[in-house]
Amino acid sequence: MKKPVNLKNPSVFWSTTARLILRNRTLFLILIVLSTVFFASQWKHMRFSNTEANLLPDDHPINVEYNEFLKIFGEEGNLIVMGVKDSTVFSSEKIAAWNALQDTLGTFSEVAFTIGLDNLQILEKNAEEQRFDLKPFISKNTSDAVDFHDLEYQLYNKLPFYEGLIYSPNKKGFRTIIALDKDIVNTSARKDFILNHLIPLIESFESTHQIEVYTSGMPYIRTLNSKNIIDEISLFIGAALLVTSLIFFFFFRSFRATLITMLTVMIGVMWCFGILGLLGYEITILTALIPPLIIVIGVANCIFFINKYQKEIKTHGNQAKSLQRVISKVGNATLLTNMTTASGFATFALTQSTLLVEFGTVASLSIIAVFVLSLLIIPIVYSYMAIPKYKHLKHLNKNWIGKLVKWLVVMVRHHRFAIYTSTVILLCVSIIGIYQMKVSGSIVEDMPKKAAFFDDIRFFESEYDGIMPLEILIDTKRKEGAMAAATLRRIDQLQDFIKEIPEYSKPVSIAETVKYAKQAFYNGNPEYYQLPTSQERNFILPYAKNSIQENNLLESYIDSTGQYARITTFMKDTEMDRMQRIEEELHEEIAKIFPEERYTVTVTGKAVLYQKGTSYLIKNLLISLSLAILLIALFMAWMFRSFRMILISLIPNLLPLIITAGVMGFLGVPIKPSTILVFSIAFGISVDDTIHFLAKYRQELIANNWKIKRSVYGALKETGVSMFYSSIVLFFGFSVFMISSFGGTVALGGLVSATLLFAMLSNLLLLPSLLLSLEKSIANKKTLRKPPMDIISEEEK
């Protein structure tokens, strides 16, 4: 009777897996093709995000407050602004052309209304009907006889209500406001309107009249940001394929090995996009990084598989035996290293941030997928090919590789003191750098600096004092309470406080409308632009109420019941520490002005949402990194059954993170969502080298009867080359992110590359040095017990 196969024995399991794959290679190829077709069919469900990423959970108090504001006043981020700063614009031809541009934009169904010189309204007193008439600032039949310089003077000096709204506080330019239909702000219709209609019309105006037009606003910024993300996905994928294929070919000098590898990772990318579509996730600035990430990790997998295959062929020349050993010997180790990498990404899914959950989920699933593809495609494809010729194996005898390994052995054997001294110096210097790190909550810092719209953002920041909307919602707790004299005085008092903060633009509210009403009552004299006295209220407020009903923009600052009022201001790009101080001062002032028993005041808006979201995300990413370290420490404990080995394995991987943090401090790279990702990603990947080295070290110990020095040097010689190859691929692979136009992606690519380089040196120099120095306390059968599963088979020596 045939003895049943014991699949609980890892060696038997992988040998059985190898036979299963090679005996059913046609079936597995068909399954790969069918799976690829299935994932490709899911691409139609992929969609690009039409909103900026919400970094907070849906039930977070800040999100709840913001959603309450939206219920009352609707979408606040629906305004696009076009500004000019040109002294020649006040002429018959150019004013007419500007007004025609505004008029044309107002005809699109995507636009709710426009406000600018073309339809700018001024209040005029109508004593007979005790109301204000809204008169056009520029008559539609304006002729060349009109004094346009007088119009300019009237705008900048007689209409304080429009300061900061239509014309700049320095009185050197003006702008047009385009309010998009709130129903299309977060849809693809917004993108189509901006890219296919708005931008071409503006470019035509600029070329015809030689006037530079600055365009901004949250819908505009989000649209061009999304377009850049879309454009960069193909750029990243192409660059990652090019760089990794060139490096791979340089190492292996084999076209077919390179082509097999590229085929494997390209199918991995197709599966990755399929997973995105299948799960219904949006393509964001984070998920856009996953396809090139899969290419880099996939190529590193292929290096181990192909290198093992070629070594086996060189040793005995038996193809069937070589392919079986590729699966049974390398498959186990590669599975474990991919699992640790995937686990590092999977910890993001434990956060409550939707952005990170989606990124972590897709990344971890894609990493496992590309491992499965590597395990299946490489042995199966090679099984259909002829045995590699001598020229394909020459790279195994390269002199420079032998010199590299020899140098590593010499350093570990004779210069451990220098290694430890350098480590301590780097650690101390890095700690100093860490204390210089800052946290950034800037929404524009990571935007493409070379993009035209980034210059436009800076223009509106300097001319109009900010771009990020900040809203103050005032609940008077009674109908018509917003128009009460006491409420208006309090609103005006808070606005005076806001005006003193240089990071805020001039606030707009119902109080400004009432001030304008008093000015109009006194025949447009700007000296009377102020709240009416108690005596003036009785005959001025009816005029103000009528004017509110006739102007969409003014109406948006008080709700239909009159219970809620809003103050809108815009915030400059500001450092996180300064933002927090301003917020504290603002809340203190609100508490003084608005008694809690009579008013409920909420500070919200995109500026608050992003600032709080950044702080929340950084906190969760630190938790994620801690979980990744704990998870991998537990994995090491399970693998090696030794607390001392856990410490030894973590030190070479934590040190590069500390060095990178120190470099960030010295270079002034702030902690922000994009840079904090570096640590979790790099740690999850760099620990793979540690696993390979320690597994081989344990095997050498057993083979060499627990002779430590021989075992360390043997493990270094055996694994050093593969660790070097894969680390170089990862280094250059992540470096492709540095071609991005997004500052955060550039920082991510550069920092991960640098961290992995530090990790490679740490695992090749510091780790074996520690093993040699601590040999008496760790290198014995009791301390280093047999693991529950073999990472590398005992046969591999």
Q: What is the CATH number of the domain that holds 32?
A: 1.20.1640.10
Q: List the Cα angle 147/148/154 in 5-degree steps.
A: 95
The answer to whether 102 touches 115, Cβ cutoff 8 Å, is no
**Predicted pLDDT at 139:** 72
Report pLDDT for 415. Answer: 86
H/E run at residue 507: none
| Distance (Å, whole) CA 701 – CA 415 | 22
Which of 31-35, 677-681, 727-731 has the weakest average pLDDT? 677-681
H or E element in which residue 564 lies: strand 564-571
Pairing of strands 282-283, 47-48: parallel
Angle between helix 673-703 and helix 606-640 axes, rounded to 10 deg: 0
- The tens digit of pLDDT for each residue in 750-788 reads 888 888 888 888 888 888 888 888 766 655 555 555 555
- Per-residue pLDDT at 3: 47
- For the chain, what is the largest distance between any 2 Cα atoms, rounded to a whole number of angstroms? 113
In a domain, 527, yes or no: no
Rg of the chain in Å (alpha carbons): 33
Q: What does the pLDDT look like over 589-622, one tens digit per residue?
A: 999 999 999 999 999 988 888 778 777 877 777 7
**pLDDT attached to residue 701:** 74
Considering the domain boundaries, does residue 422 fall inside one?
yes
Handedness of CA 560, 564, 565, 566 (dihedral sign): negative
Beta-bridge partner residues of 125? 132
Q: Tell me what pLDDT residue 797 has.
A: 40
Both tokens of 148, joined, read 């346009």
How far is Cα 791 from Cα 698, in angstroms, rounded to an integer? Answer: 10
Give 558's DSSP letter.
B
Q: Which of 634, 625, 768, 631 is nearest to 692 (CA)?
A: 768
Average pLDDT over all residues of the chain: 81
Q: How far is CA 397 from CA 250, 674, 701, 746, in A?
A: 14, 41, 26, 37
Instruction: Write down the pTM of the prediction.
Output: 0.77
Q: Is 18 within 8 Å of 331 (Cβ atoms)?
A: yes
The helix or strand, by DSSP H or E, that contains position 426, with its residue range, turns out to be helix 416-434
Q: Which segment of 48-52, 243-247, 264-268 scores lowest on mean pLDDT? A: 48-52
Phi and psi at 525, nearest 5°, equal -70, 115
**pLDDT score at 9:** 53
User: Which band of pLDDT confidence, cut at 50, 70 and 90, is reported for residue 442?
Assistant: low
Pick the more confident residue, 793 or 629: 629
Domain around 688: 10-49+225-435+611-778
Give residue 5's pLDDT: 45
The verdict on residue 387 lying in a domain is yes
Average pLDDT over every residue of 428-455: 79
pLDDT band for position 564 (cuts 50, 70, 90): very high
Q: What pLDDT, on a 0 to 100 scale, did the predictor assign at position 425? A: 92
Q: What angle do CA 610, 343, 702 make, to 5 degrees?
A: 150
Q: Which residues contact 397 (CB under 8 A, 6 or more apart)?
A: none
Mean pLDDT of 325-346: 80
Q: Which residues contact 601 (CB under 8 A, 6 or more apart)?
A: 472, 473, 474, 475, 590, 594
Residue 634 clears pLDDT 80, i.e. is over it: no
Alpha-carbon distance of 590 to 582, in angstroms, equals 12
- CA-CA distance, 746 to 88, in Å (whole number)? 40
pLDDT at 45: 85
User: What span, in angstroms and rounded, lies between the C-alpha atoms of 298 and 692?
Assistant: 17
Number of domains in the chain: 1
What is the residue-wise DSSP string for 722-769?
HHHHHHHHHHHHHHGGGG-SSHHHHHHHHHHHHHHHHHHHIIIIIHHH
Contacts 24+ apart (CB under 8 A), 417-425: 419/765, 419/766, 419/769, 420/769, 423/655, 423/766
The reported pLDDT for the residue numbered 244 is: 86
- Give helix 643-667 / helix 743-761 axis angle, nearest 10°: 140
pLDDT band at 367 (very low <50, low <70, confident <90, very high): very high
Residue 393 has pLDDT above 70, yes or no: no
Residue 78's pLDDT band (cuts 50, 70, 90): confident
Lowest mean pLDDT among 201-215, 357-371, 564-578: 564-578
Q: Count other C-beta atoms under 10 Å from residue 358's C-beta.
A: 23
What pLDDT digit, counting tens, does each position of 81-97 carry?
Answer: 999 988 788 877 888 88
- Is residue 7's pLDDT more than 50? no
Site of tokens 């040998």 = 15
Average pLDDT in the 706-720 region?
77
Distance (Å, whole) CA 295 – CA 303? 12
Helix axes 643-667, 673-703, angle to 10 degrees: 150
Angle at which helices 331-346 and 606-640 pack, to 10 degrees?
150
pLDDT band at 542 (very low <50, low <70, confident <90, very high): low
Query: Which of 269-283, 427-441, 709-723 is most confident?
Result: 269-283
Nearest to 280 by CA among 579, 531, 44: 44
Predicted pLDDT of residue 368: 93
Q: What is the mean pLDDT of residues 620-649?
A: 74
Q: How far is CA 58 from CA 359, 444, 615, in A?
A: 17, 24, 16
Q: 116 phi and psi, to 5 degrees?
A: -170, -165
> Which residues have a Cβ under 8 Å from the Cβ of 197 and sit 6 or more positions away?
105, 108
DSSP conformational letter for 59: T
State the pLDDT confidence band at 796, using cuts at 50, 70 and 90. very low
pLDDT band of residue 387 (cuts 50, 70, 90) is confident
Tokens 């060139």 locate to: 246
Which tokens sit at 48?
A: 């690009």
Percent of the chain with pLDDT over 90: 15
Token code pair at residue 604: 């919200």
Please say whether the beta carbons of 506 and 169 come within 8 A: yes
Query: What is the residue whose two structure tokens read 């906190």?
Result: 619
Q: What mean pLDDT comes out for the span 413-429?
A: 89
pLDDT at res. 777: 61
In the 8-state DSSP scheme, what is residue 473? E
123-139 average pLDDT score? 78
Shortest CA distance to 576 belongs to which of 587, 564, 565, 584?
A: 584
Angle at 332 between CA 327 and CA 334, to 5 degrees: 90
In a domain, 689, yes or no: yes
Residues 6 or more apart from 422 whose CB is under 8 A from it?
none
Confidence check: pLDDT of 2 > 70? no
pLDDT at 544: 59
Residue 508 has pLDDT above 50, yes or no: yes
Task: Calculate the alpha carbon distances from 81 to 45, 102, 166 in Å.
Answer: 33, 11, 9
The pairing of beta strand 111-115 with beta strand 174-180? antiparallel
Question: 76 to each of 106, 133, 412, how far by Cα in Å?
Answer: 19, 28, 62
> pLDDT digit string (tens) for 153-168?
888 888 998 888 888 8
Local structure of residue 288 (DSSP, 8 states): G
Q: Is the per-residue pLDDT at 540 higher than 80?
A: no
How many whole angstroms separate alpha carbon 425 and alpha carbon 331? 39
pLDDT confidence band for 35 (50 / 70 / 90) = very high
State the pLDDT confidence band at 543, using cuts at 50, 70 and 90: low
| Cα–chain center distance at 199 | 26
Query: What pLDDT, on the 0 to 100 scale, is given for residue 492?
Result: 92
CA distances 766 to 234, 316, 696, 776, Å, are: 39, 35, 16, 17
pLDDT at 694 over 80: no
The tokens of 131 are what? 């109301």
Mean pLDDT over 733-743 rounds to 82
Q: What is the dihedral of CA 725, 726, 729, 733, to 10 degrees?
A: -170
Q: Which residue has the higher pLDDT, 466 or 257?
A: 257
- Nearest CA-CA partner of 684 in 736, 613, 734: 734
Residue 42 lies in a domain: yes
At 512-528, the pLDDT tens digits run 888 888 888 888 898 99
Q: What percent of the chain has pLDDT over 70?
A: 89
Crossing angle of helices 534-549 and 510-521, rounded to 10°:
110
